[in-house]
């Protein structure tokens, strides 16, 4: 099976590297050349253009947003050159509208589209421990499951409609963003009261909020430790917009989401777009008059 991979940011590079380590032949393409060079050193084949990638039996992609997916992966000329029955596995967090449109177009052309948005940051991706939400034609998902098993620790099979996987991923990111916002506010109150914010996080992580988000993110928020940047603040803003748009499409108000989106806009206006999305905490601190400390 000839595999193509598009989008070699931190997440994509990690996934492609794990596929190579598992012995899969991978052809790679990226707008910037450095990630391509790094992966060719590990055995990947560099594609000269996307036409070579779309000649593969399976194409995986890890792009940043709807615009990139539309521009690079829904190009009519590229799709026309793909072999019949080829599968595209899209691991990005995109809108449900785009997922539905991509699924329709691929089906019309005799191709197969699988939504496989992933849960986890670049560190988790490097360890091959992503959680993958998979939705698409059952025969197509069966073909690509061995590849998904390499990049993730668990697959959740959502069904045969790709937009459903993206809807669930958007809701997961919304819940994480809400948790980050709540911890940012609570730790700032604790700090303003001259108490140790880490103590608050230790208390809630002991039994009330176990798992990954509160203990891991909470301690970083309490310490104002936003490195390494495993997920950029600008992407958090993008996902918040996706959550609000999805909710509106289903007639559900998200008042918390609107507040959080404004916090991201505030942070980006202060030059924080490339920082970790946990750094939205600094918006709360600024508003509380603690930004001088």
The single residue listed with the structure tokens 């940051």 is 121
* Cβ(27)–Cβ(3) below 8 Å: yes
pLDDT string in tens for the chain (293-residue length)? 899 999 999 999 999 999 999 999 999 999 999 999 999 999 999 999 999 999 999 999 999 999 999 999 999 999 999 999 999 999 999 999 999 999 999 999 999 999 999 999 999 999 999 999 999 999 999 999 999 999 999 999 999 999 999 999 999 999 999 999 999 999 999 999 999 999 999 999 999 999 999 999 999 999 999 999 989 999 999 999 999 999 999 999 999 999 999 999 999 999 999 999 999 999 999 999 997 54
Instruction: Spell out a b/e string for 254-282, using b for 16 or more CB atoms within 10 Å of the CB, else e.
Output: beebeebbebbebbbeeebbebbbbbbbb
Total-model pTM: 0.95
Domains for the chain: give ranges and CATH numbers: 3-159 (3.40.50.720), 167-287 (1.10.1040.10)
Polymer length of the chain: 293
* Cβ(164)–Cβ(134) below 8 Å: no
Joined tokens for residue 88: 């595209």
Q: Any residues with CB less than 8 A from the CB of 130 and at least 6 apart, and which?
A: 15, 118, 119, 120, 124, 151, 152, 153
């Amino acid at each position: 099976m000839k595999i193509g991979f598009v989008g070699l940011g931190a997440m994509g590079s990690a996934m492609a590297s794990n596929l190579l380590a598992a012995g899969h032949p991978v052809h790679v393409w990226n707008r910037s050349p450095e990630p391509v060079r790094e992966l060719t050193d590990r055995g990947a084949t560099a594609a000269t253009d996307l036409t070579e990638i779309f000649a593969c039996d399976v194409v995986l992609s890890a792009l940043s947003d709807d615009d990139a997916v539309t521009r690079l992966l829904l190009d009519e000329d590229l799709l026309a050159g793909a072999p019949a029955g080829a599968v595209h596995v899209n691991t990005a967090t995109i809108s449900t509208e785009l997922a539905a449109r991509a699924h329709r177009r691929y089906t019309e052309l005799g191709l197969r589209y699988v939504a496989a948005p992933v849960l986890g940051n670049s560190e988790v991706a490097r360890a091959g421990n992503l959680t993958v939400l998979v939705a698409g034609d059952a025969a197509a998902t069966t073909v690509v499951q061995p590849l998904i098993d390499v990049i993730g620790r668990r697959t959740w099979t959502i069904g045969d409609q790709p937009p459903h996987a993206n809807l669930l991923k958007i809701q997961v990111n919304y819940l994480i963003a809400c948790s980050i916002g709540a911890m940012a506010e609570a730790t700032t109150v604790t700090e303003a009261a001259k108490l140790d914010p880490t103590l608050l996080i230790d208390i809630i992580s002991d039994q009330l909020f176990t798992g990954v988000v509160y203990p891991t993110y909470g301690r970083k928020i309490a310490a104002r430790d936003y490195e390494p940047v495993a997920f950029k603040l600008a992407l958090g803003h993008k996902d918040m917009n996706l959550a609000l748009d999805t909710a509106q499409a289903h007639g559900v108000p998200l008042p918390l989401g609107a507040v959080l989106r404004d916090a991201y806009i505030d942070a980006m206006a202060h030059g924080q777009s490339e920082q970790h999305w946990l750094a939205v905490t600094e918006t709360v601190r600024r508003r509380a008059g603690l930004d001088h400390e």
